[in-house]
Structure 1
Amino acid sequence: MNFSLPQPANRAHIWRALVRMLVTFIVLVAVAVRPVAAQSILRDAETEALFQDMMDPLLVAAGLQPGQVRVHLLGDRSINAFVAGSQDIYVFSGLIEAADSAEEVQGVLAHELGHVMGGHAIRVNEGAKAATGISLLSLLLGAAAVAAGAGDAGMGIMMAGQQAALGKFLAFSRVQESTADAAGAKYLSKAGISGRGSLAFFKKLQNLEFRYGVKQDDDQAYGRTHPMSGDRIQALREVYVVDPAWEKPADPAIEARFQRIKAKLSGYIADPERTLRKYPESNTSIPARYARAYAWHKSAYPEKALTEVEGLLASNPDDPYFLELEGQVLLESGRPKEAIPALRKAVTGSRSQPLIAATLGHALIATEDPANYPEAEEVLKTAVALDNQNPFAWYQLGIVYANKGDQPRAALASAERYSLEGGQASLALRNADMAMQGLPEGSPDWIRAQDISLVARAEVERERKRR
């Protein structure tokens, strides 16, 4: 008795396998092309200011202007960083936790700047296109073999083609990484920053690979998106140790600020018990007080948090970030009126830093005192003028306009807010159209509402077609 399936079923089985292989390849390439599709961005005035001060010497070394590339912090405890778009660098919170020094982070930023200057975020499509060409060709050849009755041979051709396609894409990725390593080393050298931190961080990555059993031999290199860590360390060491900046001491001011924001981040994202074990009360340093203040605040012990803040302010009464923290604790503990003096001083001391100004605007509104609304409107309009990418500031400004009875501008503020929040295109469209109905046609606000409406409408249409 013959237990083999009839030929049509054999062919159907092969075609199903073909489709599965193609889908698998597309998914693998998509993951490599877009390392992070959606992560929460953490906004903090002090952290963003430090990132920019760490980044600017590297930008100048690369022939760019200070501030031309922005660094964003993502709330993800993975040890990672990547470039998205053309001039935006994203650093994971886990990388800041893992780094022991500012120089280590600057080494990572220099590497990512190498990707920016090489246009790698855009050129990655070249690698995907070449790999897809190989993949499709193998599918066609395999399909021809299947149609001719050589099912096993056809499947072999397809599988070999998919493997070759993925290998070509990964090889393209490894070349980009090596190029970024070399460019990053050059930028560090021109900026007068030692490569010690860069090597130290690569060593951390290598130790993690050892811990998770990732082999370092050449036989394993084929399936990697990055060159082997050992090879990268060896190549970079040869460049760094002969560089004039190799023995240069780290910038003590940058290092002190880094230890502050690292402790602050730990207090914000880590479990409070873990933070308090890491930073016991016997440790009265600024980073330790910073971390404990956030841990106590998260644990709903505002008085203990404020005690730590008092210790911070005793060391520098005019530090805008200490004052911001005091205002934040008071505001989020239901004491907005008490928060206002510290936040006003913080705004002045930070030269109207928009994130701090938005918090002051929130405190003024939270008092529910109409006498505070004019000041709230002023500081919030300043905040969105300096940083229009803050949906919370737009939300607060919308409250002010609504309380004034200015519904068109309240709708416009809501449209701005929803346009910045992912997946809210329909709400952005609705509010933008509402704003246009009440605003003078052709005015700057009307034109802005029209812009939001056009973009949101296109996004709504795309979503409808996808469904």
Structure 2
Amino acid sequence: MQLLRLFAACIILSFTLAHPARAVTLLRDPDIEYALKQLASPVLQAAGLSASRMNILVIDDRSLNAFVIDQDSIFIHSGLLLKMTSPQMLQAVLAHEAAHIANGHLVRRPINFRNARTAASLGLALAAIAGAATGNAQAAAGIAAGSQGTAQRLFFAHNRSEESSADNAAISYMVRAGIDPHGAVEVMDLFRGQEALSAARRDPYASTHPLSADRIRVLQRLAEPYKGRFTPSNTDLYWFARAKGKLSAFQRNPKWTLTRAGESGFADVRAMREAIAYHRQSDLRKSLAAMDRALAARPNDPFYHELRGQILMESRQFAPATAAYARAVNAAPRNALILGSYGRALLTQGDTAKALDVLERARSRDGRDMRVMRDLAAAHAKSGNAGLASVVTAERYALIGRLDDAVIHANRASGLLPRGSGGWQRAQDVLQAAKVAQR
């Protein structure tokens, strides 16, 4: 059966609700994340935030939502991204979330996702993502670090005064960046009537971002003076078409994609979308031919080389996939997701020593990629270091909230590694985090 997975890596977060268990999947794709960062950069700079440090991450959920839980990450649902019809709509959402960060609205939610020191603290951040993704602060209860009270205290929905403040700031950021602020009004139009719906039928955005007719009227008034003053740049149009085009090509029916592949007007984006559609139809010849067209237009594009590698890898063409990933790494040597895919391909080729080096580099740049951690454990095991394999496995289980499994592997690592070594100490960190979480 054809693999329909979109991205090179994902984190799956299980969480408990009054209803049966659900999962939140964090989609990771280097191309889409780069495109979103390009679109976010002008508004982030206008907000006085570091564009290089900010992560724009996509959650695989068809409902409409976007939120922040820390200073360094903005989360957006795939459903909201696919619903957008212009770059300024997406930039309005990003500007609004940036305003929550710049205006200090996260003081009550002191989670530092990137700087978490232990498995438990990072697990709590992931738990809060689950709560935010559903618009339910209590959804985080009982997962990751295992503390209902702590998880619920770490995330609160924005109140109306915060929303008003963020709206005003977002409009000013967009104007300062030369972006049409009517994008914010167009976003609000997506949510008209949400407050009249029951909580079960309401999009999560309406729960995490209180809506009202007054709020929409204020946004219209703020945006009106700039009507017709700004037009989207070709760069913004391109990266919006690329992010949305790639996401939709993987998530919609291939026939749908093939009939609409050229709607953006960018030839390489059309070829990329066709390549994905043909790949999902298991037509490797047509898929690679389409990738050749995309690469002819942008021969040094690391993300097109990475996509070619993914297509070949999922078609079990391991040697050419490895070569494609190597070209992607040469073009983007610091991209953690591309490094992770390259390390995985090297493992299929039996080059364990090089795979270890590449996977360690990937993990040092981005510790959220569970597939990298699984591959890193496999590489340590193949190289004969069962202790380090157990450490990495323990850390991976801790990060997804499977603390009993984490303890088993941490204890195994403690018995295999020299006492006091770096790996042994990491195993003790997992054991200590589990002990604290289970109190």
User: TM-score if structure 1 supplies the norm length?
Assistant: 0.71
* 1:226 shift after superposition: 5.5
Q: Distance in 2 between matches of 1:188 and 1:452?
A: 43
Q: Is the CA contact (8 Å cut-off) linking 2:353 and 2:383 kept in structure 1?
A: no
1:42 maps to which residue? 27
Residue 307 of structure 1, CA deviation: 1.9
Give how far 1:47 is off: 1.5
The residue type paired with residue 395 of structure 2 is: E
Look up the match of 2:292.
Answer: 310
Q: In the TM superposition, what whole-angstrom CA distance separates every residue of 1:162-190 from its partner, at most 9, and x where no partner exists? A: xxxxxxx99x8333322221121122233
> How far did 1:331 drift?
0.8
Residue 314 of structure 1: CA displacement?
1.6
Q: How high is the sequence identity, in percent, across the aligned residues? A: 32
CA change 1:325–1:226 in 2 (3 A) is closer
Instruction: Give runs of aligned pairs for residues 420-459 of structure 1, distance below 5 A.
Output: 420=399, 422-459=400-437
Aligned residues: 368
Distance in 2 separating the partners of 1:225 and 1:347:
38
The match for 1:205 is 191
Asked if the contact 1:425/1:457 (under 8 Å) is kept, the reply is: no
The structural deviation recorded for 1:402 is 0.8
Q: 1:232 aligns to what?
A: 215
Question: Which structure has the higher relative contact order (CA within 8 Å, separation 6+)?
Answer: 2
User: RMSD of the alignment, in Å?
Assistant: 3.2
1:437 and 1:312 map into 2 onto residues whose CA distance is 51
1:289-323: CA deviations, max 9, x gaps?
A: 22222222223222222121111112122211111
8 Å contact from structure 2 (residues 302, 331) kept in 1:
yes
2:65 maps to 80
1:97 maps to which of 35, 59, 82: 82
Cα distance in 1, alignment partners of residues 342 and 72 from structure 2: 31
Conserved 8 A contact 1:178-1:227: no
Distance 1:107 1:69, change over 3 A: same
1:343 is displaced (CA, Å) by 0.8
2:412 maps to 1:412: no
- 5 Å-filtered alignment, 1:11-90, equals 38-85=23-70, 87-90=72-75
Contact kept, 8 Å, 1:196 with 1:246, in 2: the verdict is no
Matches within 5 A, 1:73-152: 73-85=58-70, 87-120=72-105, 123=108
Deviations 1:321-363 (A, max 9, x none): 1111111111111111111111101011012311111111111
| Letter in structure 2 aligned against 1:288 | R
Contact kept, 8 Å, 2:268 with 2:298, in 1: the verdict is no
Does the CA contact (< 8 Å) of 1:50 and 1:258 recur in 2?
Answer: yes
From 393, 417, 421, the equivalent of 2:372 is 393
- Of 180, 193, 197, 2:179 maps to 193
Q: State the AA in 1 paired with 2:45.
A: V
- Residues 224 and 307 (structure 1 numbering): CA distance in 2 closer, same or farther, change over 3 Å? closer
Q: TM-score, normalised by structure 2?
A: 0.75
Pairing partner for 2:239 from 247, 257, 263: 257
Q: Which runs of 5+ in 1 are unaligned?
A: 1-29, 126-168, 215-222, 463-467
Asked if the contact 1:279–1:292 (Cα under 8 Å) also holds between the matched residues in 2, the reply is yes
* Corresponding letter in the other structure for 2:417: L
Q: In 2 relative to 1, CA 442–56 (structure 1 residues): closer, same or farther, beyond 3 Å?
A: farther
CA distance in 2, matches of 1:38, 1:183: 33
Answer with 1 or 2: which has the greater Rg. 1
- The corresponding residue for 2:153 is none
Q: Deviations over 1:91-141 (max 9, x none)?
A: 01111111122211110111112223344455489xxxxxxxxxxxxxxxx
Residue identity in the other structure for 2:100: H
Q: Which runs of 4+ in 1 moved over 4 A?
A: 121-125, 223-230
Matched residue, 1:345? 327
CA distance in 2, matches of 1:394, 1:452: 15
- Could you tell me which residue of structure 2 aligns to residue 146 of structure 1? none
Which letter maps to 1:193?
I
Contact 2:394–2:410 (CA<8 Å) still a contact in 1?
yes
SS, match of residue 242 in structure 1: helix
AA matched with 1:454: Q
Return the offset for 1:227.
Answer: 5.8
